[in-house]
Amino acid sequence: MLNVDIQALLRDGSSRYALVAATAKRARMIVDEAEKNHDIIIDKPVSIAVKELKEGIWKIDSDD
Give the pLDDT confidence of 14-52 residue by residue, as tens digits: 788 988 999 999 999 999 999 999 999 999 999 999 999
* Between 48 and 3, residue with greater pLDDT: 48
Helix or strand run (H / E) with residue 7? helix 6-9
pLDDT-derived band at 13 (thresholds 50, 70, 90) equals: confident
CB 41 within 8 A of CB 30: yes
Closest CA to 57 of 32, 23, 33, 34: 23
Question: Is the pTM higher than 0.95?
Answer: no
In the chain, domain spans: 6-55
CB 43 within 8 A of CB 2: no
